Structure 1
Amino acid sequence: MTETLAQMFQESVEKFPELPALMVKTEGAYTSITYRGMAQKVRGLGRGFIALGIQKKDHVALLSESRPEWAISDMALVHIGAVNVALFPNIPASQVEYSLSDSGSGTLIVSDRTQLKKAMGIRDRLKYLRIIAMEPPPDGTADVLTFDEVLKLGEASPGTDAEFDERWKAVKPEDRASIIYTSGTTGDPKGVILSHSNFVFNVKAGKHVLCFRPGEILLSFVPLNHVMGRFVDHYLPLSSGSTVAYVESLLKLRQNLQEIQPHYMLLVPRVLDMFREGILAGMTKKSRRTQVIFHWALSAGKECCRLIESRQAIPLVTSFRWFLADRLVFRKIKNRLGLQRLKFFFSGGAPLSRSTAEFFGAIRLRVMEGYGLSETAPLVTVNPSSLLKFGTVGLPLDGIEVKIADDSEILVRGPNVMQGYHNRPEDTAEVIDSQGWFHTGDIGEFDGEGYLRITDRKKNLIVLSNGKKVAPQPLENRLTESPFIAHATVIGDQRNTITALLFPSFKHLRDLAKEKKLDVDSDNNETLVSHPDIERLMKHEIDRLLPDLADFEKIRRFSIVGEELSVENGTLTPTLKVRRRMVLERYKDAVEAMYR
């Protein structure tokens, strides 16, 4: 019986030795590594780690974008009983230092020169730190081991071969596999301790819903240190005999899609929104006749999706319209994007807007939305592929209990729940109660069919000065359905009215300014957002997208910010969620001006 990640991988190697496990773009073309070849690399690197003196339970940090070396490093670490402390590649050096110090990691594995520069910048303060580089460091870099040197150390130590086998066979289900740092939307990141059994249970439960097949390809885009990326883009396909192909970068995503033509892909909602916006924007440049045909096809698809969602039979004529729409319109779009083989997108990490989910459903690109957290390894619920419900995150996985507390907080209990927060017993006791229920901090509700709907974060709930309560997330989600609004932060806690900070999609605003021939320097964000026509546009978008609010929920004032949110300025987490506290602090003058 499979109980550890090492056992899970070894079983796949035995079943699928010659199938491709990993694919990466090198010298202009994708090349593959078979399961047997990956196993040899995992063994070689694991032997090198042993020769370096890395012991069972040692914490080893991994600072890298998604690539084969990440997957091989992780598997080598879990085989020798070490703990992978996974760090986001887009965090600054200060956060790298915080995570290394907090986790007590004595070894740091980095990918390229960008990550190596961060490591070198903090080594003076962490003198015990051993650095291993996936790529050869620049000439003159002192005391940095390369992967090749680690491999040679293992080869020069014959005893490490037998010890490698002894180690992975001795790993226990309850042993730590990883520490994953939360994205820090409400405070300092906390190290979530996840065991082998946490991950293995989630993989087994997830396989019943996310049915990956041997030899089929997943295109990996979400960072593997992200818990959802680790599950969907790493452990799940590698336990199924599937192939993981790595995206080169966001800018190369469309090209890589066409080259790989994947069967599966995990994307965060913002990227799915960008896909939708791109398709719709492309249609505006087509002929009037093409636009009419497209909107007819989209209407046919949406009608069928509504019938499916309401569990009604689709009339034969309506079904034929959808079939015709797919043949005449949607297949051409999918072929152009490289999505002709796609069985489903999986979406997680943040709420997916209903309009985006409906759009992809209408054009016959299934989006399976799920819900989970780092603390639940990660998956808790998922929309079954044949019974999707837009605006929900689906049904609980088998073996996982989910209930709604009296204050509407979502509680989770099951074998997937973390062991706790590293070095934070008080924080652990605060979120896992005496009955084993994990308090997620999310507010939600079940519908009549048992589908879970996420309303907001508990800490985000706005309490107006008159005592009325407003959940900001649904309002923010609806606002970002506008092509002109990239992010929105709704404000009003302990105030008398609701206001909003709007962060535009500057590309769309610039295109509009050129189209309308506005007398404005479109390259200057500040002058662009202060133009009266842009202000009127934003007011129109608020009224259009939020027409049905209670009087106390209505946005009375708004401020358009002439700056983009980013990881670099601290307003977005590495997973591109808005850091509400940082946004309110950074733009406090704009907030106060709205209430003056």
Structure 2
Amino acid sequence: MDTTFPRLLLQHASQRSSAPAMREKEYGIWQTLAWGELRSLVERIACGLHLAGLGRGEHMVVIGANRPRLYATMLAAQALGAIPIPLYQDAVAAECVLPIVNADVRFAFAEDQEQVDKLLEIRPQCPQLSAIYFDDARGLRNYDETGLHALDALIERGADFAKANPAWFEAEVGKARPDDVAAMFYTSGTTGQAKGVVHTHRSLLDRAKAGADFDALTGDEEVLAYLPPAWIGQNIFSYAQWLACGYVVNCPESAATVTIDLKEIGPTYYFAPPRVFEGLLTNVMIRMEDASAPKRKLFHAFMEVARRVGPALRDGKPTGMLDRIKYALGDWLVYGPLRNNLGLSRVRVAYTAGEAIGPDLFTFYRAIGVNLKQLYGSTETAVFVCMQPDHQVRPDTVGVPCNGVEIRVAGNGEVLVRSAGLLKEYYKNPEATAEVKTADGWYHTGDAGFLDAQGHLKIIDRAKDVGQLADGSLFAPKYIENKLKFFPHIKEAVAVGDRREKVCVMLNIDFEAVGNWAEKRNLPYAGYTDLAQKPEVYQLIRECVEKVNADLAADEKLAGSQIHRFLILHKELDADDGELTRTNKVRRGFIADKYGVLVDALYAGRTEQFIETVVKFEDGRSGRVSATLKIDDARTFAPMKAAA
């Protein structure tokens, strides 16, 4: 698109001033902000920031949950030619230092007291951070810090300037060009220090429009913005595509109310990483365990019909009359109420990305009538690389290249991408830019995969993580981990085995799902660590591991990577402890080093191992968790021979 984000705002405000642009739930009531009102708010914030000294080409940090005034501040910065940098609101203070120092940030928007406290804590390390504007004043009344201001005060100053200079704002917006830098996103840093990914208006809007055209999105869509704005996925769906299409973005009241808000809004266009879909399904299965025997029987009977018939109906494939009648009855009794309970009854298009989604999980949603599809992309590609067309949806691929994308597979199996949506550069890091982006415009994704006969892309694993066992067998750790995480009782998994004689795994149980399972069996426990080490829980998890082994045995290439030994960790993997990224991706190398004593115990044949770990609490304090962990063996299976 040959335009910019602020120009699109002006366009929507001019053409449909009274149409809703955003909704925010506050004190249980949805408040609507029209396009005309949003334009006025952005103008006042932009004028206020101009008076405060924010200049063209400068960076401004925004940190908080999805809120209309956070989005308005990003638009205001872009209107001035400045560059917003959204940061993760759940990041600890120390994680904010690198972006602020790296990008020479002087101005910051902080949603509330929690975010203000973080920025004030790191100010000695970021002396250039001179102005912090807060939105929610609760708890900040007695703060007396230099450069700390209420956003309301900035807006008031801006309103006076706008009134005295009515043509200034639009003239300023007109100065921006599509190839100007629009935003910067810091990568999650799975393999090292985070890098600033620089995107232009053109790169972000080109991919936003490609995705919108692919699924025929219109201004009538409803979207729930509940994931971190700092994540490129949420930013594309609720910011770039929002402005490209003009649909309504709805901001939930809090993380605790997302499930309720999802039902109230009933989005038509929905996006979530697999962990969210896993969580929704886990809650469904927990509730079904609590249901009466007749209801459980009815649910399982109709779910069997759904799994057999639903995907075929969704993909427009022929099905028998009797099956269609059974499915219609199931839709009335089970699937329809279930979609409504999940808040997905109005969803026309739903996407998942970020990690591989399990075939069973994927099939479940499509079986009950949710048009769930996969897409493939990254921060550096502005998300949209491959998407699944309707009627061509398969759980083992991520779709076909969407409009404007070229894909090439290198000799080592790495997937290379070329499109108008690629990053401009890594900020102040030409060496890293040169490593991933060739002179002729190809981006090295770091993923190993291939295009199948139908032109669909299949991703195996991260190219650097695909290894071999000591006997030469293929070892794809993420593939194994994802198969384990398909079970509702397993939350996280870390597989080790490269250049070793066998595969072993370290696991996290899903505390809620396993806790519910234990309570049904009158199994007492005192917290996560105690529950995780129960013999009954080990038996439950062993059954899951052995089912994965049976599946692996059926795959000629992966039969050698069956899991021989496993243990359940004494604590949940946590981003605050460096074990996960802020997008909840496992930092496998870090974990292997941190828990080296456990890895050694797995391969030494021990049946238990003591470990003590330092953990960080939400308030910044540190503590220690220790336990003697059981180590168990899993049954493996003879490889199944391919049919002649």
* TM-score w.r.t. length of structure 1: 0.95
- Residue 578 of structure 1: CA displacement? 1.2
Kept in 2: contact 1:203–1:235 (CA 8 A): yes
Q: Secondary structure at the match of 2:494?
A: strand
Q: Secondary structure at the match of 1:399?
A: coil
Matches of 1:586 and 1:522, distance apart in 2: 27
Matches of 2:342 and 2:470, distance apart in 1: 50
Unaligned 5+ segments in structure 1 are none
Give the structure 1 partner of residue 395 of structure 2: 390
- Residue 273 of structure 1: CA displacement? 0.6
Please list, as runs of the form range in 1=range in 2, the aligned pairs for 1:124-139 lying within 5 A after superposition: 124-129=124-129, 130-136=131-137, 137-139=140-142
Matches of 2:342 and 2:449, distance apart in 1: 35
Kept in 1: contact 2:91–2:582 (CA 8 A): yes
Please list, as runs of the form range in 1=range in 2, the aligned pairs for 1:336-347 lying within 5 A after superposition: 336-347=341-352
Give the structure 1 partner of residue 66 of structure 2: 66
Aligned pair 1:7/2:7, yes or no?
Answer: yes
Matches of 1:377 and 1:308, distance apart in 2: 32
Kept in 1: contact 2:314–2:369 (CA 8 A): no
Give the structure 2 partner of residue 57 of structure 1: 57
Matches of 1:53 and 1:19, distance apart in 2: 33
Matches of 2:5 and 2:496, distance apart in 1: 44
Range 171-180 or range 339-348, more displaced? 339-348
Kept in 1: contact 2:66–2:229 (CA 8 A): yes
Matches of 1:7 and 1:226, distance apart in 2: 23
Give the structure 1 partner of residue 586 of structure 2: 578
Q: What does the per-residue CA deviation read over 1:380-419, in whole Å, with 9 as the maximum and x for residues that have no partner? A: 1111234322232111111111122111111110100111
Aligned pair 1:25/2:25, yes or no?
Answer: yes
2:429 to 415, 424, 428: 424
- Residue 161 of structure 1: CA displacement? 4.5
Q: Secondary structure at the match of 1:24?
A: strand
- Residue 515 of structure 1: CA displacement? 2.7
Kept in 1: contact 2:2–2:202 (CA 8 A): no
Give the structure 2 partner of residue 44 of structure 1: 44
Give the structure 1 partner of residue 562 of structure 2: 554
Matches of 1:155 and 1:284, distance apart in 2: 57
Kept in 2: contact 1:233–1:266 (CA 8 A): no
- Residue 69 of structure 1: CA displacement? 1.4
Q: What does the per-residue CA deviation read over 1:340-367, in whole Å, with 9 as the maximum and x for residues that have no partner? A: 2222322122222111110000110121
Aligned pair 1:100/2:105, yes or no?
Answer: no
Give the structure 2 partner of residue 297 of structure 1: 302
Q: What does the per-residue CA deviation read over 1:289-339, in whole Å, with 9 as the maximum and x for residues that have no partner? A: 322322232222222345368874223332232222112211112233333
Kept in 2: contact 1:74–1:84 (CA 8 A): yes
Aligned pair 1:196/2:197, yes or no?
Answer: no
Matches of 1:430 and 1:57, distance apart in 2: 25
Kept in 2: contact 1:202–1:416 (CA 8 A): yes
* TM-score w.r.t. length of structure 2: 0.89
Aligned pair 1:523/2:531, yes or no?
Answer: no
Q: What does the per-residue CA deviation read over 1:447-479, in whole Å, with 9 as the maximum and x for residues that have no partner? A: 221111221111222332344331111111110
Kept in 1: contact 2:268–2:348 (CA 8 A): yes
Matches of 1:483 and 1:358, distance apart in 2: 15
Which residue type is aligned with residue 141 of structure 1? D
Q: Secondary structure at the match of 1:547?
A: helix
Distance 1:290 1:345, change over 3 A: same
Matches of 1:497 and 1:161, distance apart in 2: 71
- Residue 78 of structure 1: CA displacement? 1.4
Aligned pair 1:351/2:327, yes or no?
Answer: no
Distance 1:403 1:255, change over 3 A: same
Q: Secondary structure at the match of 2:508?
A: strand
Kept in 1: contact 2:575–2:581 (CA 8 A): yes
Q: What does the per-residue CA deviation read over 1:179-236, in whole Å, with 9 as the maximum and x for residues that have no partner? A: 1000011111010000010011112211112333324321111112211101112221
Measured on the aligned residues, the alpha-carbon RMSD in Å equals: 1.9
Please list, as runs of the form range in 1=range in 2, the aligned pairs for 1:38-437 lying within 5 A after superposition: 38-129=38-129, 130-136=131-137, 137-143=140-146, 144-157=148-161, 161-307=166-312, 312-437=317-442
Q: Secondary structure at the match of 1:460?
A: coil
Kept in 2: contact 1:220–1:265 (CA 8 A): no
Matches of 1:18 and 1:267, distance apart in 2: 30
Give the structure 1 partner of residue 539 of structure 2: 536
- Residue 165 of structure 1: CA displacement? 1.7
Matches of 1:425 and 1:278, distance apart in 2: 46
Matches of 1:160 and 1:122, distance apart in 2: 37
Distance 1:340 1:309, change over 3 A: closer
Matches of 2:447 and 2:314, distance apart in 1: 25
Matches of 1:503 and 1:330, distance apart in 2: 31
- Number of equivalences: 594
Give the structure 2 partner of residue 464 of structure 1: 469
Matches of 2:525 and 2:211, distance apart in 1: 47
What is the identity percentage for the equivalent residue pairs of Structure 1 and Structure 2? 26
Matches of 1:114 and 1:509, distance apart in 2: 32
1:588 to 596, 612, 617: 596
Kept in 1: contact 2:205–2:244 (CA 8 A): no
